Amino acid sequence: MSQYALVIDLDKCVGCHACAVNCKAWNTGGQYGPLTDKAPYGARPEGVWFNRVQTYEVGKFPNTEVVYLPKSCMHCKDAPCVKVCPTSASYKRREDGIVLINYDDCIGCKYCSWACPYGVREFDTYDGVMKKCTLCVDRIYNDNLPADERKPACVLACPTKARIFGDIDDPSTDAFKLIRERMGYKLLPEAATEPSNYYLPKRKYKIQLNMDDILVRKHLKVETEVKVLPFTGTIAEDIASP
Amino acid sequence: MHPEMSLVILTVFSTAGQGIFIFLVVMNSIVPESLSGSYIITAALASILFQFIGMGASFFHLGNPMKGWKAIMMWRNSWLSREVISLSAFVGAASLYLIIYITEMNKSILDIVGYAGIIMSIGFLIASSMVYASIGYIKEWANAFTPATFISLGLTCGAAFALAGFYLSCHHSEIYPKINLLLIAMTIFSFILKAMAYRFNANVYTSLSVSNAIGINDKHIKLMDRGTPYAHYNTKEYFHPITEDQSSIQKNLIMIVTFLIPLLIWMLIGLLLNINSHGAAFLAISGACVMLLGLLMERRFFFIQGNHFQNLYYGNYKKSSIDNPLVR
């Protein structure tokens, strides 16, 4: 049995929100119908988004770094939202593990969103139903699209290729390999929902700069060479002590 | 959590209405001679009316009320589905009870239908409270105090209205002081239970922090950007801004209005007044109404107290008094 999911490389994510914007664009015009957006250019732009990118500052100044965390439905293997739905509108597909909502059966009770520890379900007040990431199920099986475009809209939009889509249970996929090679982790494992989306941790880089070299090379109009070595301490410490 | 009035009204009115029915059936099968016909009809009608107020309010909570009937489909998995089924079954049983009484059918059939209604009522009280207690990501809800207080407060409020009805029906009986004593005992029990629940929730253990939420092991993590320029569903549904002081004031007010004022009223009735007087009836109704008001406040605060895990991502999660030992 397959389990399609996203693998998100936090090391590559630059927090540009392109994934969120493209997700919104596709899902507003796609087969699932429009997402509510009240006054998108007004002072109070309230609307439904499947994917949101949050920014965190980690560490204590001056030893800080910024982490961008794109978050959408985790397509959990043991999805609590599916279990609590009183109408079976929320369901998990056997063939690919995608968690979807049948809008025809959804009564808009919001109980599924309470049962989700990640807060990735958003209530559409206009349609009166709960909405969430569909993993672009209307793209990935769409024969009208070229084969290389049969991926979620967020994956196609990412300029740094920080988002990888694939079957995380199939050893031949990039998603499977990356999770193991880069020690991919799940968000909030304490919630015990077995989320399918994985996050690849940020790597830390050591940048060695020799100021004399830079000055000479600049003078000679030669490009500065930057050495990237495995990290041994915090960034600020390494820069401070060459 | 955001306190939605439709859910507050649903949980309070339906549980109180079921309390009225349970008392009616028990009293009618134990001491039928003490009850007047008008009382039985009025109490059964009041119980059904309370259910309709609750059910009516619940429709305002739904995004698609016209499809609300579909909520009965997943009774195997969902407590919400079980709540809807048991509530509908209870309304059916209570209506049948009323019809059987009015048509003066066999008393034993009346009792059987009444007890069937009680079973459905107990099923509803459990299902209704488990809707909240089964959400493991809200520690303030996911504990035994939630079903215990839902059931206890519902029955006590129902008993308060039942007592007011007894006094109003002006049917002389020696059983009234005993019911008054029972009501006082139930109120004291509910008071202790609610006080324990508040104490438990004030010290609820959670070692979670934003560090666990985003999977980065650092004690100093600060939210810089929520990923949205304005409030949206996730920042509004799971969070209600309230300070510690406001929370403490509300808790004290709830304890006074829900328990202490009604308790004083019932003690006054029992000790000072002739229970068959109109003054006693007026006081008993006032006490029941004050308790109902207190219950509405209590249930609203129950929602406000709920602190969902997903608030971790938005920096709204209540800080734990205990640091996570895994975070260096």
* CATH classification at residue A22: 3.30.70.20
Do B216 and A115 count as a contact with CB atoms less than 8 A apart?
A: no
Report, as an integer, the average pLDDT of A161-177.
94
- Considering only the beta carbons, identify the residue of A47, A109, A118 that sits closest to B310: A118
Does residue A151 lie in a domain region? yes
Nearest CA of chain A to the CA of B140: how many Å?
13
Backbone phi, psi, residue B37, to 5°: -60, -40
Distance from CA of A138 to the nearest CA of B (A): 24
pLDDT reported for residue B31: 81
Q: Which of A44, A87, A127 is opposite residue B74, by nearest beta carbon?
A: A87
Nearest-CB residue to A55 (from B70, B208, B224): B224
pLDDT class of B217 with cuts at 50, 70, 90: confident
Within a domain: residue A120? Answer: no
Chain A residues whose beta carbon lies within 8 Å of the beta carbon of residue B67: 87, 105-107
Domain match, A144 and A50 both: yes
Mean pLDDT of A28-49: 78
Residues A196 and A211 in one domain: no
Residue among A60, A109, A199 whose CB faces B62 most closely? A109
For chain B, the first-to-last Cα distance in angstroms comes to 30
- If asked whether residues A8 and A71 sit together in one domain, one would say yes
Q: Does residue A68 share a domain with residue A11?
A: yes
| Per-residue tokens: A175 | 């998603």
Residue numbers in B near A186 (CB within 8 A) = 215
Q: Verify whether the Cβ–Cβ distance A86 to B208 is below 8 Å.
A: no
- Quick: pLDDT tens for A93-109: 999 999 999 999 999 99
> Which range, of A18-22, A132-136, B277-281, B296-300, averages the lowest pLDDT?
B277-281
Inter-chain Cβ pairs, chain A and chain B, closer than 8 A: 166
Residue A188 contacts residue A118 (beta carbons within 8 Å): yes
A66 with B224: Cβ contact below 8 A: yes
> Under DSSP, is residue A113 helix (H, G, I), strand (E, B) or coil?
helix
- pLDDT given for residue A242 in this prediction: 40
Total residues found in chain A within this entry: 242
- pLDDT at residue A238, as a whole number: 43
Lookup: tokens for A41: 């250019």
Residue B226 placed within a domain: no
Chain B residues lying within 8 Å of A11, measured CB to CB? none
Q: For residues B3-26, give the mean pLDDT.
A: 93
> Mutation test of the interface with chain B: which of A58, A112, A187, A200, choosing the one with the most B Cβ atoms within 10 A?
A58
Note whether residue A121 is domain-resident. Answer: no
Nearest one of B314, B135, B224, B302 to A119, comparing CA atoms: B314
Domain range holding B125?
5-216+236-314
Nearest to A45 among B71, B230, B233 (CB): B230
With a cut of 70, say whether residue B240 has pLDDT above it.
yes
> Which among A108, A122, A188 has the least Cβ separation from residue B234?
A122
Q: Which residues contact B249 (CB under 8 A, 6 or more apart)?
A: none
A167 and A181 inside one domain: yes
- Tell the residue number behind the tokens 């910024």, with chain if given: A66
pLDDT band at A230 (very low <50, low <70, confident <90, very high): low
Which residues of chain B have a CB within 8 Å of the CB of A128? Answer: 62-64
Provide the number of structural domains found in chain A.
2
Please indicate, yes or no, whether residues A192 and A224 belong to a single structural domain of this protein: no
B321 in any annotated domain: no
Distance CA A135, CA A151 (A): 8
Q: Do A146 and A193 lie in a common domain?
A: yes
Output A223-231 pairs: Cβ under 8 A, ≥24 positions apart.
Answer: A229/A205, A230/A206, A231/A203, A231/A204, A231/A205, A231/A206
Asked if A137 and A236 sit in the same domain, the reply is: no
Q: Residue range A113-118: average pLDDT?
A: 93
Residues of chain A neighbouring B136 (CB-CB closer than 8 A): 80, 191
What percentage of residues in chain B have a pLDDT greater than 70? 94
Q: Is the pLDDT of residue A3 over 90?
A: yes
CATH of the domain at B304: 1.20.1630.10
Out of B64, B79, B225, name the one closest to residue A106 (CB): B64
What's the confidence (pLDDT) of residue A52? 92
Residues A151 and A230 in one domain: no
Per-residue model confidence (pLDDT) at position B295: 95
Does B256 fall in a domain? Answer: yes
* Lowest-confidence region among A235-239, B151-155, B260-264, B285-289: A235-239
Length of chain B: 328
Residues A56, A140, single domain; the answer is yes
pLDDT of residue A30: 65
Nearest residue of chain A to residue B206 (CA atoms): A190
Q: Which two tokens stand for residue B77?
A: 């998995």
Looking at the structure, tell me whether residues A216 and A138 fall in a common domain.
no
Q: Which of B1, B74, B227 sits opposite A53 (nearest CB)?
A: B227
**Band (A222; pLDDT cuts 50, 70, 90):** low
What's the rounded Cα separation, in Å, for the pair A5 and A166?
6
Is A54 within 8 Å of B312 when comparing Cβ atoms?
no
Helix (DSSP H) and strand (DSSP E) numbers for chain A? 8, 13
Q: What are phi and psi of A120, to 5 degrees?
A: -110, 5
Which residue range forms the structural domain that includes residue A222? 205-240
The confidence score (pLDDT) of residue B319 equals: 61
A33 within domain boundaries:
yes
Q: What are phi and psi of B163, to 5 degrees?
A: -65, -45
B320: in domain: no
Compute the mean pLDDT over every residue in chain B, rounded to the nearest whole number: 88
Rounded CA-CA distance B109/B122 in Å is: 20
Pairwise pLDDT comparison (B185 vs B169), residue with the higher score: B185
**Set of chain A residues whose Cβ sits within 8 Å of the Cβ of B223:** 54-56
Distance from CA of B232 to the nearest CA of A (A): 6
> Which chain A residue has its CA at the smallest distance from B208's CA?
A190
In a domain, B51, yes or no: yes
Domain identity same for A149 and A233: no
| Minimum Cα–Cα distance from B6: chain A residue | A109
Q: Which long-range contacts (CB under 8 A, 24 or more apart) does B125-128 make?
A: B125/B15, B125/B18, B125/B150, B125/B151, B125/B154, B126/B151, B127/B79, B127/B82, B127/B83, B127/B86, B128/B11, B128/B14, B128/B15, B128/B83, B128/B87
Chain B partners within 8 Å of A84 (Cβ): 77-80, 134
The two structure tokens encoding residue A75? 């397509």
Q: For chain B, how many structural domains are there in total?
A: 1
In this prediction, residue B169 has a pLDDT band, given cuts at 50, 70 and 90, of confident
Q: So what's the pLDDT on residue B89?
A: 95
CA–centroid distance for A54 within its chain: 10
Per-residue pLDDT at B229: 75
Task: Look at the block and give the residue holding tokens 């049917």.
Answer: B171
Contact A119 B234 (CB under 8 A): yes
| Residue B175 belongs to some domain of the structure | yes
Q: What is the per-residue pLDDT across B111-131, written as a single tens digit (0 to 9) for each? A: 899 999 999 999 999 999 999
Asked casually if ipTM beats, i.e. exceeds, 0.95, the reply is no
**B68, closest residue in chain A (CA to CA):** A107
Instruction: Name which of B207, B234, B238 to mutate to probe chain A: the one with the most chain A Cβ atoms within 10 A of its Cβ.
Output: B234
